[in-house]
Amino acid sequence: MSINKNQFADGLEIMRRPILPLARLAMLLYLTGPFETVEELLAELVEPIETGGRNYEQPGQFLQEFLSPLRLMESLKNARPPAARILDENQDPLDPMEGLELLISQQALTMELEKINSLLCRPCGCKLCCIGPEDTLAQEYFEIPLTEDESRLFALSVVNNDLSRKSLPADEPPVTINGRPFYEGESRIYHWRSGWSMVLPRHTSCPALDRETGGCRIYPDRPEVCRRPQIFPYVLERQPSLDIEYEGRVLQTFIRQKKLLAVWDCPYVKTLKDEIADYAEACELEPVFRENKA
Ligand code: SF4
Ligand code: SF4
């Protein structure tokens, strides 16, 4: 299928006016202004603002959608406990202001890119995320990680036994089902040592895929992994092994990365490489394009 950039107009419209330049300005205004809450600041932002070379017609309204991550900055004024522990690449703690900006950036971009992804995916008519590997690919199967609850969304046979729970999909020799490697034959749900997943061997598809329309029959309830964009923020990397106890609770730890990752297998990523690089630059992130299903 040939793809014309005009088909991506709705997604590109958002990419040309990313949240981050405006969010950074809002953080500065909040911290230097007389505002107690972020809502008070947003109520004042009624005039158009130009920042980072982008024009935002109704900045307060635009930022409302991202209120939840933006509220994190209230912790700097109200002496609230930190939301997370943010470290640099050498595992030294970052200045709280910089750490908070990165945390807000990660959360706000996750929200924005979920929307962009769904607008860019639709016109492609592509099912790559929902089917097993094509014959041209070396991989024998694709794996869709699931939570235990999500595994119940699919009418597939389930392999949940001592062997599967002790094994990983990449183990050699592989787990066998009826004498054949698990990745030959039908799609199934597995409970591995690492958790639950749906395995899609070659020539199979997710049972929720409507083969005729290419749509997902459980779209509103689809698993978390299916909501992840093919362009996604890697501003921070979660590091559970570095979590610490803080005032009787676990404080999650993240490492600064400041990258934007894009999966090269995806047709809209290939088509919009320059636009994705521009978006990353506006967000002050390094764009990284990488193969996923090769
Ligand atoms: S649940 Fe929906 S989006 Fe996820 S793989 Fe299946 S068909 Fe695709
Ligand atoms: S590879 Fe890209 S275009 Fe294809 S289904 Fe996945 S997100 Fe959509």
Q: How many angstroms separate the CA atoms of 177 and 175, rounded?
A: 7
Q: Quick one: DSSP state of residue 196?
A: E
Task: Tell whether the model's pLDDT for residue 93 goes beyond 90.
Answer: yes
- Ligand 1: which residue has its CA nearest to atom 8? 130
Distances (CA, A) of 248 to 122, 148, 244, 245: 45, 28, 10, 6
Task: Tell whether the model's pLDDT for residue 179 goes beyond 60.
Answer: yes
ipTM of the complex: 0.97
Mean pLDDT of 16-34: 96
Q: Measure 33 CA to ligand 1 centroid, in angstroms.
A: 46
Lowest-pLDDT range of 28-42, 75-89, 248-262, 273-287: 75-89
Q: How many angstroms separate the CA atoms of 165 and 287, rounded?
A: 37
Mean pLDDT of 263-286: 95
Per mean pLDDT, which of 15-24, 72-81, 219-228, 245-254 is the most reliable? 15-24
Whether 130 lines ligand 1, by a CB cut-off of 6 Å, is yes
Whether 124 lines ligand 2, by a CB cut-off of 6 Å, is yes
Q: How many angstroms separate the CA atoms of 116 and 8, rounded?
A: 10
- String of DSSP letters for 232-294: EEEEEEE-GGG-EEETTEEE-EEEEEEEEEEETTSHHHHHTHHHHHHHHHHTT-EEEEE-S--
Q: How far apart are the first and last CA of the chain?
A: 20
What average pLDDT does the structure give for the chain?
93
pLDDT above 90 as % of the chain: 80
Distances (CA, A) of 99 to 236, 244, 245: 9, 16, 18
Q: Measure 121 CA to ligand 2 centroid, in angstroms.
A: 5
Mean pLDDT of 184-194: 95
Residue 118 pLDDT class (50, 70, 90 cuts): confident
Task: Tell whether the model's pLDDT for residue 222 goes beyond 60.
Answer: yes
Q: How many angstroms separate the CA atoms of 158 and 272, rounded?
A: 39
Residue 294 pLDDT class (50, 70, 90 cuts): very low
Both tokens of 139, joined, read: 């991989």
Task: Tell whether the model's pLDDT for residue 102 goes beyond 60.
Answer: yes
Task: Tell whether the model's pLDDT for residue 291 goes beyond 90.
Answer: no
